[in-house]
Structures are given as C-alpha cells and as structure tokens.
Structure 1
Amino acid sequence: MAAAAVAHTPMSADVLTMLTDDIESHGPISRLIADHPDAAAPLFGLRALAGVRFLVLTGQAPELAGHLEHLMSNLDERAYAKRTLTLFRKALLDHPDEIRAAMGRPVQQHLPRRAGLLLRGLGMLAAPKVRLLEIGACAGLNLVLDRYHWFGPGWEWGDAQSPVRLATTGPRPGDFDIVDRAGCDLAPRDPADPNDAMILRSFIPHERDIEQLELDDAMALAARTGIRVEKSNAVQWLRNELSKPVEAGVYTVVWHSLFWWYLSPREHSEIEDILSTAAERMRLARICYEPSAWAGTPRLQTIFYS
C-alpha cells in the first residue's frame, strides 16, 4: 500500500513505510499498538495514520500541524520528509491514550465522489423509482447522491443548487427518483456530530485537500437532510429490510463500496441467499465497487437479480 501511494500521497507513503519498519523490528510504535485485539484486521496500520491525523485536526499536535502547512512546497525535499517522520513518530508516541482509542476505530475513508460510481450503476437500471439500501454505509453520504450536483463528460445531473459539486465519468444516468433510502454500519457516523465528523476527516490523507473539502461539504449537506445510518450487522439488516413490502414499479438496489472483504465468506453466502430469495418478490439489483481481493483494483459491477 505504501508503494502504491508514493505517486499520489508521498508523505503518507513514507509514514506507512516507517510504521511497517517499526512493527517488523518490534520498535516503540509496535509496542504501543501491536497487542491491540484488532491487530490482525485488514488495513490496521491505517488506523495509526488516521490517529495522528486526528491529533493534528483537533489541535493536539501543533508542531506537526505547523510543519505540514508547508508540505506541498516541500514534497521533494529529503530533509523535510525526514523531519515529517520525526514529528509524526513523536506525536504518536506522546499521545498513547488517543492513539489506542484511534486503533479501535475501523478504517472509514468516506469519499462522497465514490457515489458517482453508484450513480453510473443506477443509470444502467433505467428505473424511474429506486429504493436504495447501503451496507457499510458509514455516515450515509452515498445515500444522498441525488442531492449532489454531478458533472460528467458533456452533461450535468442532480440538484443544480447543491453545495456539493462533483465530477464523474460515464454517460448521463437518466432521471429517476429515490423514493426510499436506508443504510447500516457496525460503526455508523453521524455527520451532524462534530466528533464523528472529525473522525471521518482523519481518514483523508493530508495531501488530499480537495477530498477534504468535498467531504466537509457532503457532511454539512447530509447533516441538514437528517440522514441516519442504523447500527447493525449487514446480514441481519438486509434480511429485515428486504422482508418489507415494496411499492409497485420500484427497483430495489443494494449498494456497497470497499466493504465486501470486511465480511466473512459465510456472510457473503448469506447475503447472496437473501438477495436471491428477495428477487422472487421484487425487482432487485446489487451495485458494488469492490476489488476481487484485498490487494486488487476495485471495479464497478451491476448484478441483476430480477
């Protein structure tokens, strides 16, 4: 992951490499976090990166925060990069309680522009009415994609007055109404809650300033709409939601992105059984943006069950 990040987020790549080296050598950072119950969880090291980012955003690491103000003009400076790692390590080790708390948070890089992939998938349905159900929904930003304003190649779509303005790809999706929307997550975030909002910001790398602004705009809009995500296991939640009656002419869509591999093979099988059974009673599709395995490249898939 560090190697893949070099081209786009070089500072974060350096920090991930430093974290990996420390863990492999059983250094002081390893001694702080390696005995955590989630230490074997996928992407566990990213939690430490987000933990320090949280310290910066909340004013608890002022020396590192001041240093990072000059990051973009010093990306190729070896001495600056070395100083960055020193200050990062210091911030992490100086705040053991805060870092341990951060290590207990699941990775939630909640980018509103990812909803553009959902929009592209929805366009394939050509359905005038959609019921949208999202598993691993986090703060629900994908659930309000129709309240964003989208710019594609030669087209625009969505709310022209929206403060959230995002670029995407593909053909214009066509017009449809989202008549019902709901989501679940084991650790849902409330975009109206300042602490939850700060946690979501902490998972956006410092170099990604555009994504930070997009996230802030989307969270502010979602807070005003009152969207809520239910705290629930994906399997049980889907079973409950898909047992509810559906208005005639409504297409039910189950959506997830960069979430599938957090589930077990047994949960994969159970969800497939739930969807196949539900498709006997309703028009249903699954739209997902997932890699074929943890290290793979994500791809958009639209799977029609009926």
Structure 2
Amino acid sequence: MLEDAFLDQARSNRALGSPFTARVLTLTAARLAPGNPVVDRMRGWQGDIGNRGASLPLRFLGGLHALVLTGDCPELAACYPPNPRPDDATLAAAIETAMARHPETLMRWLDLPPQTNEVRRAAVMIAAAHWLASRFGLSRFVASELGASAGLNLMWDRFRLDLACGIFGPRTSGVRLDPEWRGPCLSEAEIEVIDRRGVDIAPLDPHDPGDALRLTSYLWPDQPWRIERTRAAIEIAEAPVDRSDAGSWLTRRLATAQPGAIHLVSHTVAWQYFSDDTCNTCLDAFEEAGRRATRDAPLARLSMEGDARKGEGAPIELTVWPGGRTHKLGRVDFHGRWVDWKPPADPHRNTLHKPMATRTTT
C-alpha cells in the first residue's frame, strides 16, 4: 500500500537523523488520494515500491527537494531548511502546491531510482584498503565499483578520513570523513590507486548541472553537511563510470589482472537492485577471476548491503582471493555516521568460510 510505504520510509528517515524529511513523508502519506497524475502513477506502480524495491517515497522526496534547490516552487522552498520550521498545516499546503503545479518535475524524478553516492560510505573502502595492504604487503590498487552512480566514492583514496587515532588519506583533501569509529585503528599503509572505474545502469555525470542537481536532491535538507560533502567530492571527481549491466561489465573488468596490485571491487547498497541474472553473472565473474588470483595480484570483493538486522546498519564483508574466503569486518551505518570496525585479530588467518552471497534463481 502506497501510504504504508511512505510511513515506513518516514520511520527510516527519522532513525537516520532526518526528522524534517520524516515529517514531509508522513504528511504526504495522508494526501495520496487518486486524481493527481503523480499520485496516480505511484498507485499504479507494479512491484515492490518500498525501500527494498523501487523506493518510490525517496524518488518523490528527491523531486520535492529538486523544486526547492532550483527555486521553482517558492512556496515549498519557504518551508524547507534553513528557513524556520513551519507548522504542519503550512508544510502540508506547500506539498500539495508542489504536486498540483509541478507534476512534470515530480514525474521525472519518479523515472529513476535514487542515486545518492553517499560519500561517507567511502570510510569503509578506505578501511578495507588499509586492511588488504597490510595483509598482502602491496600498496597499489585497482578500484572498481558496481552501482557507482556518479563515481564519487571511487575517489576514496583522495578523501581524508579523520579518526581519533589518526588521519588517513591526504590531509589537504576537501572531502573530510569523520565517522564515529568503534574498534581498533587502521593499519598504517601507503595507498596508490593506479586505475579506477565504475559501472551503473544509469550513470550520472557529476559535472553536468542536471546530474549534479539529481545527486544533491536525494540528500536531505536538514542534513546540510551531506550536501556540502557531496559538492566537495564533485569538485575532485574524475572516475569514469560506464553505462552497462554490472554482470557483463564485471566479467570484462576482471579479465585482466594487474601484477603487483590489489583489485578491490566494491558495492554499497546496490546488490539488492540487481536482477537475478546480473547477480549470478557477477558471482561467476568473481569465481573465475578468483581462480586466477595470486598473492601478487589478489582480488577482493567489498560488500556493504542491508540484512535482516534492521536499524543496525549494514554488515561489512570482504571476500579475498586467492582462497575465496569471506571476512566479517563489522558493521556500518547506512550513511556512514558510525563504523563498528571488527577485523580479524590476525589478518593472515581466515576464520569464515561461507560465501558472501548465494546464487538466486527465477
């Protein structure tokens, strides 16, 4: 039910520290009567419309924010941060105005899934890279990302990770990550990314004004630091992102190893959106490339995907070849606000033998 999807997303947003967007979603849930073209389209949507499927509430929320960022709906902009908090009646009226006067914009935002490129997730990529560098004694990396959107997080080696125990990455970086860090500090390592590339079914160009608007529109207006951090990441973005199915792309990407370099393939809150065929093709590509991996040219798959433990962030899992064993490295907040880092005490000792993901069948 559409109303239930909006209310469920409101609960998630509130838990993720965005009370304003939770209010917007809750007020919208009570105003989804048929008759408006935007509402009618959402009501006629086929398949899962919640946050494990099409994420219609987040698409709609992004469309509203786009109207604010462009100034196209001044009534709505007046209700959004940093303006004073409006009462529910005023905010609800502004939402109704946006739906009545700007259905074309909202429909365009319904066309594509949210692509936030949440930059703070890169803290996990940095941590995994340091763990791998320590394990293999290698400093050079090939970086790949599945579901890379605009490729901002492929620049992880150029971000500054500030922890109480030390600073990792370039101190002069304009992109500063400062998650609440729980657990041991990272191993010191020199990191050099010699090749970076991503794939997305609908990639965004961070230097295109329209695509940059789409990226920032999915960030929540009562969390301006996320918008500032994303804009800083856009300034240094230069990783190419190919428009392709992730499965076929990964097969090609892993076909050639780079001796003396670790190939780190990441996916963060992306796997759930892949088709069964795509997931299985990716698994085949990992297995085939894993058989060819050596200690001089290792392969690693970093996963940050949701599981059954709702409200507790996502597990951090790293499968390493040669060997193909999966290490549980802790958990992370979906927006990277905190990292509960729990790597194996001895990086040369593999303690987990189950595969990270199983095959799916239709």
Give RMSD over aligned pairs. 2.2
Aligned counterpart for 1:239 among listed residues 246, 251, 254: 251
**Change in CA separation of 1:235 and 1:109 when aligned onto 2, cut-off 3 Å:** same
- Distance between the aligned counterparts of 1:278 and 1:287, measured in 2? 15
Partner SS state of residue 279, structure 1: helix
Candidates 259, 265, 288, aligned match of 1:254: 265
Report what 2:274 is aligned to.
263
Contact 1:121–1:301 (8 Å) recurs in 2? no
Mapping for residues 145-160 of structure 1, pairs under 5 Å: 145-160=156-171
Runs of 5+ consecutive residues of structure 1 not aligned to the other structure: none
Query: Is the 2:160–2:177 contact (alpha carbons within 8 Å) kept by the matching residues of 1?
Result: yes
Closer, same or farther: CA 299–212 of 1 in aligned 2, 3 Å: same
CA contact under 8 A between 1:143 and 1:181: conserved in structure 2? Answer: yes
1:6 aligns with 2:11: no
- The answer to whether structure 1 residue 103 and structure 2 residue 110 are counterparts is yes
SS of residue in 1 equivalent to 2:265? strand
Could you say which residue in structure 2 is the equivalent of 1:52? Answer: 64
**Identical-pair percentage:** 28
Instruction: Give how far 1:38 is off.
Output: 7.7
Indicate whether 1:128 and 2:139 are aligned. yes
Q: CA deviation at 1:300?
A: 1.3
1:305 is matched with 321
Aligned residue number for residue 26 of structure 2: 17
**Partner-residue secondary structure (3-state), 1:191:** coil
Which residues in structure 2 correspond to 1:167-246 (within 5 Å)?
167-168=178-179, 169=181, 171-173=185-187, 174-222=189-237, 226-243=238-255, 245-246=256-257
Residue segments in structure 2 that go unaligned for 5+ positions in a row? 1-8, 323-362
1:196-250 alpha-carbon deviations (Å, 9 max, x no partner): 101100000111111011011111111xxx322111110010011111x222121
**In 2, are the aligned partners of 1:109 and 1:204 still within 8 Å (CA)?**
yes
Question: How much has 1:269 moved relative to structure 2?
Answer: 2.4
Report what 1:115 is aligned to: 122
Aligned partners of 1:285 and 1:304 also within 8 Å: yes
Secondary structure of residue in 1 paired with 2:64: helix
**TM-aligned CA deviation for residue 120 of structure 1:** 1.2
In the superposition, relative to structure 1, how do residues 154 and 55 fare at CA in structure 2: closer, same or farther (>3 Å)? same
Query: How far is the alpha carbon of 1:299 from its aligned partner?
Result: 1.8
TM-score (norm 1): 0.89
Higher helix share: 1
In the alignment, which residue of structure 2 is the partner of 1:30? 39
> One-letter code of the match for 1:142?
N
8 Å Cα contact 2:75/2:97 also seen in 1: no
Between the two proteins, the alignment pairs up a number of residues equal to 296
Name the residue aligned to 2:149. Answer: 138
Moved more, 250-259 or 151-160: 151-160
- Post-superposition offset of 1:91: 1.0
Shift of 1:153: 2.1
1:3 to partner: Cα distance: 1.6
Are 2:203 and 2:243, in contact at CA under 8 Å, matched by a contact in 1?
yes
Return the alpha-carbon distance in structure 1 between the equivalents of residues 82 and 225 of structure 2.
Answer: 16
